[in-house]
Structure 1
Amino acid sequence: MPYLLMLLLLLPLPALAFDYPPVLPDRALQFPRDLGSHPAFRTEWWYVTGQVQTPQGKPLGFQITFFRTRPPLDTRNPSRFTPRQILFAHAALADPQLGKLLVDEKAARAGFGLAQAEIGHTKVWIDDWRLEQTATGYRAHIPAKGFTLDLQFSPTQARLLQGKQGYSRKSPTPGDASHYYSEPQLSVTGTVTRQGKAIPAQGRAWLDHEWSSNYLNKAASGWDWLGLNLDDGGALMLFRMRRPDGRALWASGTYRDAQGRVRVFAPNEVHFKPLAYWTSPRSGIRYPVRWQVSAPGLSLELRPLMPDQELDARASTGTRYWEGAVEAWRDGQRVGRGYLELTGYGKRLQM
């Protein structure tokens, strides 16, 4: 559930009525078709997070997001300049030695040789930033301000359909939903370039692909989301949509254990309990950055790779939020690595 969903705040709603196709529970995902873009839907994103190790054993976290939105405009206008699709991209590098995130972003309307999200396979790009399928997986090339990510991702296990066979509800209202699948436990190789020096890196990543027409219920102020690659080969996704008072409006999750058995959790089975907070010296926002998360058969403590993983997206979304690399611990041992996203803590999201 990447932050770029909130970029819809910037799109002015026209006076004309506009309908997007709904997300339906009886639509079965089909591959490779659903690896590509779904341009009729309002929002869509390809979201890759991971943690790698340098040759010196130092950890780095990274996040790459490509986002497509269909503006609520009358696309019958024959002008080539009608913005039928808009693309955004965002990248961040978490380096504990630096102590804060390196962040960059891009935006462009689709077409004109500037940006595109292709149908039928994963190939999405803006200028020289790109995420695309290869013969063995995926490749990301992100020459960002202050760093460059040139990474290859190789699947080590099957795709994981979230929710009910890829239909993931986000509230008590069935129409608030997304089509959603993940590719956890991706093997990562490649380089991270800093200050002109390319550093070999290898590790594990998680890819999410979601598309939706109605995502955030009006009763929700934000969400907490976790994607976790477990050290034993398992994979865990948990999320909750939060009310303004902090209570869960809706929650769910999917766990695939090391033997490949899958369980989808009901809303009342997923629990997020904050253990420690960090207050941003820049925004004054207080984020719960250390958590106890639980579901049937699971209880994990989440510890951030570093406390300061706040992203300032005011230039594009008018908001700040926390998104960062975490480790999962149980009984004094680390049992997994992943990413945690916390939105709506500074102010309530308006969509």
Structure 2
Amino acid sequence: MRWLAILWLFCAPFMAAVTYSQSRLPDYPPVVPGQALHFPSDHGAHPDFRTEWWYVTGWLQTADGTPLGFQVTFFRSRPPLDQTNPSRFAPKELLFAHAAVSDPVLGKLQDEQRAARAGFGLAEVAGNDTNVHIGAWSLQRDSGGTYRSVVQAREFTLELTLVPTQPLLLEGERGYSRKGPLAPQASYYYSQPQLKVSGALTRHGKREVIKGTAWLDHEWSSAMLDEHAVGWDWIGINFDDGGALMAFQIRNKAGGKFWAGGTLRRADGSVVALPASAVDFSPRRLWRSPRTGTEYPVSMHIHASDLTLDLVPLMDDQELDSRASTGAIYWEGAVTALHGANRVGRGYLELTGYFQRLGF
């Protein structure tokens, strides 16, 4: 689901020192149903909208068979600042990035973040296709549809090539994804499941060849999280038979289901949009973070249409703690999807709003 409003947490460090005129705030366009997506232009940025992200998650395998999870994310935000300010230094567009490697041998994440205002050649995002970078971190899509990403972090370097093996998956109603009871509470949203991954992971001076399968989300919106909601649970699962499932549940203040939805692509290629009534997340096991004391339902039982799945994490400690920079604390990690005792797929589970309500 990856609802775009979480970007407001990332904007706070920039906006705290900026004053602006209420009469000159940006006029954010709404998300409306029936708006067709057009490619390749919609692979690129949508700078008029409040927030946007390109989110890649997946499973990797080293040459010796060691399983790893990974995440590479680029965010774009148009903050509520005076858009007529002529200064080249005015932060009219902010870019953020996050990358993480989940290694069960280490038992915890290796992760790092970047943040910058767009411009000056240091941080840029294109509007005609996927092409975003912050310094040496980048995600690009070529004319043939292949994505390439490079992340040079302190503890690791990722060099990834991600090749599509099936068509785009338009989430919700042909790319219009509802996130609440009101029509404007929505995003434009598509996914690229079943990406074939190859590349290299370098840690401690050792470069390892890696391969695997990934999932890419691209989502943009101007909406905010409903005042009655506290956070969400989201999954993106690549099934072993070639199918794919995106499902989410937004939770209310009591911890119950406020809104839900998803999209299922079956092995035969048919696609089913899932209404709120067809999706349910039930915790199976909780894990308490030794750092924040937060309890997360890292093992979940999922109902999605006629599917029933149990999600088992690659490792429990996949908590992202960014209080020193962005303020967001959530759990996001690699999971295996089981039907009964049998593995049927792999993907990622995201859990937000458990540390505290997302405050925007």
- TM-score using structure 2 length: 0.95
Is 1:125 aligned to residue 125 of structure 2?
no
**What's the C-alpha RMSD, in Å, of the aligned pairs?**
1.3
Residues 1:154 and 2:172 are matched in the alignment = no
Runs of 4+ more than 6 Å apart: none
Contact in 1 for aligned 2:21/2:82 (Cα 8 Å): no
1:331 positional shift: 2.1
Q: What is the alpha-carbon distance in structure 2 between the residues aligned to residue 303 and residue 251 of structure 1?
A: 21
Match of 2:151 in 1: 142
Contact 1:228 1:237 in 2 (8 A): yes
Counterparts in 2 of 1:176-325, with a 5 A limit?
176-325=185-334
Q: Distance in 2 between matches of 1:222 and 1:246?
A: 9
For residues 4 and 312 of structure 1, the distance between their equivalents in structure 2, rounded to whole angstroms, comes to 15
Q: How far 1:264 moved relative to its partner? A: 0.6
What code does the residue aligned with 1:6 have?
L
Matched, 1:67 2:75: yes
Q: List per-residue Cα deviations over 1:314-333 (Å, max 9, x = no partner).
A: 12332311000000001211
Instruction: After TM superposition, give the deviation of residue 334 of structure 1 in Å.
Output: 0.8
Q: Deviations over 1:119-152 (max 9, x none)?
A: 1100000001000012441000000120111000
Number of aligned residue pairs:
351
CA offset digits 1:35-84 (Å, max 9, x no partner) = 00000000000000010111111101000000000011121121111111
| Matching of residue 6 in structure 1 with residue 33 in structure 2 | no
Query: Does 1:173 pair with 2:182?
Result: yes
- Equivalent runs, 1:25-64 vs 2, <5 Å: 25-64=33-72
Shift of 1:6: 3.2
Deviation of 1:5 after TM superposition, in Å, equals 5.6
Cα separation, 2, equivalents of 1:76 and 1:135:
35
The amino acid that maps onto 1:125 is H
Alignment partner of 1:341 is 2:350 = yes
Aligned 8 A contact 1:9 1:350 in 2: no
Q: 1:94 corresponds to which residue?
A: 102
Check if 1:115 corresponds to 2:118.
no
Cα drift, residue 295 of structure 1: 1.7
Instruction: Look up the SS of the partner of 1:214 in the other structure.
Output: coil
CA contact (8 A) 1:170 1:215 kept: no
In structure 2, do the counterparts of structure 1 residues 4 and 100 end up closer, same or farther at CA, with 3 Å as the change threshold? farther
Distance 2:334 2:41 in 1: 31
TM-score for both structures, normalised by structure 1:
0.97
Distance (whole Å) between structure 2 residues aligned to residue 185 and residue 9 of structure 1: 35
Which consecutive unaligned segments of at least 5 residues does structure 1 have?
Answer: none
Q: Is the 8 A contact 1:241 1:249 kept in 2?
A: yes
Which string of whole-angstrom CA distances, capped at 9 and with x for unpartnered residues, describes residues 290-325 of structure 1? 010012210000000000000111123323110000
The answer to whether the Cα contact below 8 Å between 1:178 and 1:215 also exists between their aligned partners in 2 is no
Contact 2:10 2:328 in 1 (8 A): no
C-alpha distance in 2 between matches for 1:267 and 1:7: 29
